[in-house]
Chains A and B, each alone.
Chain A
């Protein structure tokens, strides 16, 4: 009984705060950035979110921040008022004495303060527990699972269809999910601890070697959401980002179908692409896989549908011919310390490989 009343009060409080918070948040963010579309300018902002999990957390965070700001302002005003209303004495002359007194009444302040603190804390704890229970599991069981493996310094994603194991495929750094459906994410690490984080959709879950952690994502709006490794994982922790594309369900299914296909065979008569593929298999195939060719390495990202991706090197560079050439020619320049070696390719080799990669759509 009491619990249900508390719950309904909480629900009201949450929806109220959400509106206030969202408006205030956009206003603050808009003010700060001089734009209304704050979230587009700040892709890692998490007080405006686009999925049920993120939203309920954002409301809670807004509420806690509002209480915090109120407390800070209140206490600072009290300090200032206390200072300005108090009688001033000049510092003591050497060896002289200043008056000292012991007025009572101070204890009341402390008891009042503690009572208010306790009341505020109870509200925050109940609200916290409510949200915690809510975000633990999605409302409906997710239709499929993405097995994400964190590696120094990129993300491997294996899409698993629970009903048909043959419909499994591997991609990297750019996830696609259907709009409006929860997706289960199963997290493993190939080396050290990472943390999986797409702030506009949900909070973090650590990726820890020797254990499997699970979380879930849901995006209610079509869009591209930036994610980034949030646990320090070594030299290139700064360049271990990802993108999550939320597409309408139909688009997502056809993307999945496309991903299942091996790479297109190259035209027989195209000498440049033939050399490019040969060189790729020879120079790159030990680490990278392109399904349908002899390149089957597993140390680096699967490149079968490389041109589907908008970025390279874990969202470090846009996937344009210029950046791609630069990256292959000298991967240690943009992302020093990463595991892709400098292969000292000749100009023609580089050109051929780059042209070959551009056919992998």
Chain B
């Protein structure tokens, strides 16, 4: 083909059955094993993310229940200290890395192209790759249980206890290599979100018309790109210290244990915002649907989101107030940690104002969002208390902080996600979740969670340190621990009901239709579940709420769903301009491709070889990875990569 063959002016047209049939044949993943490993459909990948993340949530939750049994009473010996230490470490690693971000990536993966009115992520094969790496790195870290040497130094993994002289087993090697491995997934995933939102939107979807979850995920994706190098580097240094006797963190050779803490927290504090801001975005988009009005203060909420992420990079030392840092830095980081309250509070006021001025449709999703707001406030203010240095010197490393972080992670992440699941499940599956079971699910989860974690603030004020596998009776911590254990089982039962609800509703749930909630955004303009190509013709957007335009007087023209550019000359979608989303080019999208999976296999072999010191296999796996990438990225005719065919 000559370059001129790619020059094409797309025609606008209506949705026809013939067009849908043609697109279906082009986009639908072929059945069979090849399709399973080669699919690049963002919706399949998104659901895989969600299912995998929920599986890790269940595993992490079971670990928590075992620990709660051990702690229910003083001086128990159900677990050995080493077992307990491995459990609390893997619980943290699982929930923070293998559940909290991937669940949000799952929703964002599923929703991004639908919300943006396009057909796939900017880099579909990279998208598949990021999922496979996530799964492989998760399994890699969990393989440590098979030999009884799971990470045992907490998710924070302070040196020098992480070094070989104190921790000679493979435990820390699994964690160090696992995190470098996992970092590949988050990094490429984040890059994909950023490029997608900049270049692949429905014409007319200027940046002031983007749904909030798009802003949330994009903001944290930029955050990931800036934060992740620090932690990958820290874990790589740790691995070098352990294998080759370098001394980044080893005082014997002039290293600094505090270097670890700085590198870790300059990543891990932003990470806290990374795993809540997209969930806040979900609430900001979905809550107004049940209040029958647009979100109050759209612009302020977005500015708040971005400011929170920015300030989130300047507060990491508040995890280190007790380390003997100078007075001046303590004052600075204490002040910064107070100030971050202001942008993060904006969303709270906006949600309350949205409910206050709206008309409410009482659904399980709404209950989750309303509960979410209170949990958000509790997790927020307990965070403010720990921003105060003198108070923190007492509260630090006690159960007060455990209570605080669970209000943040369960309250803000999980409650948002569960509300989001009730909201988007019909879109993903075509069936509604049962509202009756939903009420039981919500109330048990909500009450169990608060029963478990509200008294835990008191446990912390009674001085119970974190990460102890048992405690003597004389400390007076017994009854509060018993309460928490009871609450955690109620919470677990509530979550179990969710899975029952999903199980039943997948089979017998009411058929959802396109737009069961009468919601305003583009994902509801296509069928449930959406076809592989998402939209038969490219929608054109004229306002922030395309499906509410007939009832809100806020747009200049009309959004167009049924008539738009027809892109059916192979897998195609639109490239648009960054700010105003004006159409700029037609992109040729890749077919299903096994290379992301195969490269993941090569990398998994490589990391395993590094773990076990099979150096030659490691080298071979490295070469295989490079070759795989070469095949993957080799210019192709069907992607118009051979003749220099970018049509700006």
A-side residues, CB < 8 A to B, are 32-33, 41-47, 56-57, 60-61, 64-65, 67-68, 71-72, 75-76, 78-79, 81-83, 85-92, 94-103, 105-107, 109-110, 113-114, 117-118, 121, 124-125, 127-129, 131-133, 135-136, 152, 191-193, 195, 197, 199, 202-206, 208-211, 213-214, 226, 228-238, 336-337
Contacts and interface: CB of A to CB of B under 8 A. Distances in A.
A114 B346 contact: yes
Contact size class for B?
Answer: 35 or more
A209 B513 CA distance: 63
Given A100-B551, A230-B465, A210 B352 contact: no
A191 B166 contact: yes
B391 A44 contact: no
Given A89-B292, A132-B334, A203 B393 contact: yes
Q: Which of B476, B513, B516 has the most CB of A within 10 A?
A: B476
B502 interface: no
Interface string B383-406: 011011111111111100000000
B246 interface: no
Contact of A193 (B160, B255, B392, B552): B160
Given A106-B354, A208-B258, A238 B470 contact: yes
Contacts of A127: 388
B2 interface: no
B390 A56 contact: yes
6 contacts: A72-B377, A86-B356, A204-B394, A206-B323, A208-B258, A208-B323
A107 B296 CA distance: 7
Contact of B82 (A61, A117, A235): A235
Contacts of B81: 235-236, 238, 336-337
B331 A234 contact: no
B25 interface: no
A182 B26 CA distance: 79
Q: Which of B80, B293, B387, B393 has the most CB of A within 10 A?
A: B393
A99 B360 CA distance: 11
7 tightest A-B CB contacts, nearest first: A44-B463, A203-B393, A106-B296, A210-B251, A238-B468, A42-B476, A213-B324
Contacts of A72: 374, 377-378, 381
Contacts of B330: 132
Nearest to B480: A32
B327 A132 contact: yes
B518 A98 contact: yes
Given A44-B462, A234-B161, A132 B390 contact: yes
A131 B390 contact: yes
A112 to B, nearest CB: 8
B362 interface: yes
Contacts of A152: 166
B29 interface: no
Contacts of A192: 158, 160-161, 166
Contact of B391 (A60, A91, A105, A199): A60
Contacts of A87: 359-360
Interface in B357-382: 357-363, 370, 373-374, 377-378, 381-382
Interface string B41-68: 0000000000000000000000000000
B346 A135 contact: no
Interface string B139-168: 000000000000001100010110000100
Interface stretch (B118-126, B180-188, B190-198, B337-345): B337-345
Interface of B: 80-82, 85, 153-154, 158, 160-161, 166, 251, 255-258, 291-294, 296-297, 300, 322-324, 327, 330-331, 334-335, 338-339, 341-342, 345-346, 348-350, 352-363, 370, 373-374, 377-378, 381-382, 384-385, 387-398, 435, 458, 461-471, 474-477, 479, 510-511, 513-518, 520, 548, 551-554
B516 A92 contact: yes
A75 B352 contact: yes
B373 A79 contact: yes
A234 B161 CA distance: 7
A94 B374 contact: no
Given A107-B300, A121-B338, A205-B324, 19 more contacts: A32-B458, A44-B476, A61-B391, A83-B355, A86-B355, A86-B356, A96-B518, A100-B292, A100-B293, A110-B349, A128-B390, A131-B388, A132-B334, A132-B390, A195-B397, A228-B465, A232-B154, A234-B85, A235-B82
A110 B352 CA distance: 9
Contacts of B158: 192-193, 231-232
A181 B251 CA distance: 35
A210 B338 CA distance: 31
A89 B398 CA distance: 45
A107 B350 CA distance: 8
Contacts of B468: 237-238
Given A110-B300, A195-B322, A105 B342 contact: no
Given A109-B353, A121-B339, A90 B361 contact: yes
Contacts of B467: 232, 237
Contact of A91 (B257, B361, B374): B361
B385 A68 contact: yes
Contacts of A238: 81, 468-471
Contacts of B398: 230
Given A76-B377, A89-B292, A206-B322, A45 B161 contact: no
A33 B476 contact: yes
Contacts of A234: 85, 161, 166
Contacts of B300: 107, 110
Contacts of B339: 121
Contacts of A128: 334, 338, 387-391
Contact of B382 (A68, A103, A135, A208): A68
B548 A100 contact: yes
Contacts of A195: 322, 397
Contacts of A33: 476
Nearest to B156: A232
Nearest to A70: B381
A109 B161 contact: no
Nearest to B358: A86
A264 to B, nearest CB: 32
Contact of A230 (B161, B251, B397): B397
Contacts of B331: 129, 132
A101 B293 CA distance: 5
B348 A75 contact: yes
A109 B384 contact: no
Given A64-B388, A86-B356, A110-B350, A46 B461 contact: yes
Contacts of A47: 461
Contacts of B553: 102
Contacts of B342: 114, 117-118, 121
A83 B390 contact: no
A110 B515 CA distance: 31
Contacts of B355: 79, 82-83, 86
Contacts of B377: 71-72, 75-76
A100 B552 contact: yes
Given A71-B381, A102-B552, A192-B166, A125 B338 contact: yes
Contacts of B327: 132-133, 136
